[in-house]
């Protein structure tokens, strides 16, 4: 193992962030909230083009608050993309509601309008429509929002966009995360920009965002003594971390450019290999290529995605399978699931054959050449 470990998507921090953090220390504004939080919210909202934003301790917290704002409660059902990270749907359980999982379409790997339609038809027949639909935008790419929203609007069901992985991406020229009633971003350490840990809720509904702020700061009634009429949470982002976020937001466009260059290098070096296919970039939008994801056809490549992953691991290179779909998770085993084709699931296949490659914006050309050689060798020697 000659080389230093090459990570999937490590944090990429610059000097600007340090200045903002130093400012927070210099003014003793280390405690929760403060000027960086307010500025970060304004700057994020301006960047994505939403009327407002609330800075939170995580993307998961943002999803939780969005569900509660939409009145999701025990006994309700919520539709959610199946091919995603568990944080997309765990907050449904926090609220005591039941998720119903929707498959991906092959064109974008995101929620299938076909599957969504069938799920709505089935629920209409059983007499219970979902309270909300969580549409996830995977690996830097927006879902096909127009047909998805058309279906949801026809049933009058609001949409939460989980854009934790798609900050900076666009759909028909508009920012991913701004199409639903609420949008969610994450600034976790592995995301395209990071505050070490953090998230945000965006919306054009400023009143709802004010309510989210209230719940996220322990739902303290306006009284000098500590008085509570509603259940709250400790979900706000600290002023120090918001300082990091402000610096990171300023370099977001550079980070997107760098990730797309990483993707293009993989594509140029590997796309000629029969049976190795890249996650498509659907014509309706522009992906950030947060992670470069491929599928490996074992019949054509002679190796499985897992075997390539193991070969990379032996060279001290981190890679990951595509998300294990939620309908296959032990925790969600008994939840309803609607596949893209009536008899065939897309997300099962993507999970079985999918592989995410090191895609960090700080990945050097030399490091990437090592990754590429390792993949070529694993396939050539199969």
Q: State the catalytic residues.
A: 191
Residues 100-159 that bind ligand PLP (CB under 6 A): 136
CA separation, residue 63 to residues 25, 58, 192, 211 (Å): 30, 9, 19, 14
Radius of gyration of the chain (CA): 21
Residues 192-211 that bind ligand PLP (CB under 6 A): 199
| Sole window of 161-169, 219-227, 245-253, 305-313 interacting with ligand PLP (rule: CB under 6 A) | 161-169
Shorter beta-carbon distance to ligand PLP: residue 202 or 374: 202
Minimum distance from CB of 36 to ligand PLP (Å)? 18
Q: Does 85 bind ligand PLP (CB under 6 A)?
A: yes
Residues 24-63 that bind ligand PLP (CB under 6 A): 58-60
Q: Does 87 bind ligand PLP (CB under 6 A)?
A: yes
Shorter beta-carbon distance to ligand PLP: residue 143 or 276: 143
Q: How far apart are CA 120 and CA 125, in angstroms?
A: 9
Task: Indicate the burial class of 314 (C-beta count within 10 angstroms; 0-12, 13-18, 19 or more).
Answer: exposed
- Among 320, 359, 349, 358, which Cα is nearest to 109's? 349
Shorter beta-carbon distance to ligand PLP: residue 199 or 285: 199
Chain centre distance of CA 9? 13
| Sole window of 11-19, 84-92, 298-306, 350-358 interacting with ligand PLP (rule: CB under 6 A) | 84-92
Structure tokens at 223: 């009284």
Shorter beta-carbon distance to ligand PLP: residue 34 or 177: 177
Task: Indicate the burial class of 283 (C-beta count within 10 angstroms; 0-12, 13-18, 19 or more).
Answer: exposed
Q: Give one DSSP letter per residue of 6-41, joined into a string.
A: BPSS-----HHHHHHHHHHHHTTTTSBSSHHHHHHH
Minimum distance from CB of 290 to ligand PLP (Å)? 9
Residues 337-366 that bind ligand PLP (CB under 6 A): none
**Which residues make up the interface to ligand PLP (CB under 6 A)?**
58-60, 84-85, 87-88, 136, 162, 164-165, 186, 188, 199
């Amino acid at each position: 193992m000659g080389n230093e470990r090459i990570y999937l998507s490590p944090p990429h921090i610059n000097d600007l962030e340090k200045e903002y953090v130093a400012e927070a220390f210099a003014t003793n504004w280390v405690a929760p909230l403060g000027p960086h939080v307010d500025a970060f919210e304004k700057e994020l909202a301006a960047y994505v083009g939403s009327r407002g934003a609330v800075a939170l301790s995580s993307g998961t917290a943002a999803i939780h608050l969005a569900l509660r704002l939409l009145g999701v409660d025990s006994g309700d059902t919520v539709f959610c993309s199946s091919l995603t990270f568990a944080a997309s749907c765990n907050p449904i359980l926090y609220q005591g509601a039941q998720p119903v999982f929707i498959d991906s379409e092959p064109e974008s790997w995101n929620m299938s309008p076909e599957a969504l339609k069938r799920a709505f038809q089935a629920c209409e027949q059983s007499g219970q429509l979902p309270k909300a639909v969580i549409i996830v935008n995977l690996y830097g790419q927006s879902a096909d929002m127009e047909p998805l929203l058309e279906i949801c609007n026809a049933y009058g069901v609001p949409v939460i966009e989980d854009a934790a992985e798609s900050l900076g991406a666009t759909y028909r020229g508009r920012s991913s995360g701004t199409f639903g009633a609420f949008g969610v971003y994450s600034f976790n350490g592995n995301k395209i920009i990071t505050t070490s840990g953090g998230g945000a809720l965006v919306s054009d509904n400023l009143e709802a965002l004010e309510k989210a702020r209230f719940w996220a700061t322990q739902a303290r009634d306006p009284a000098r003594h500590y008085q509570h009429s509603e259940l709250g949470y400790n979900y706000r982002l600290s002023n120090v971390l918001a300082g990091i976020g402000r610096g990171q937001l300023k370099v977001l466009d550079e980070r997107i450019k760098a990730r797309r260059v990483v993707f293009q290098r993989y594509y140029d070096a590997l796309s000629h290999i029969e049976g190795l296919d890249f996650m498509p970039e659907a014509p309706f939008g522009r992906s950030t290529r947060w992670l470069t994801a491929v599928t490996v056809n074992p019949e054509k490549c002679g190796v499985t995605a897992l075997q390539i992953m193991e070969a990379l691991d032996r060279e001290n290179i981190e890679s990951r399978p595509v998300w294990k779909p939620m309908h296959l998770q032990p925790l969600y085993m008994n939840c309803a699931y609607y596949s893209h084709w009536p008899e065939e699931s897309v997300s099962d296949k993507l999970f079985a054959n999918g592989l995410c490659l090191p895609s960090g914006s700080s990945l050097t050309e030399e490091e990437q050449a090592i990754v590429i050689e390792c993949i070529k060798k694993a396939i050539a020697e199969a």
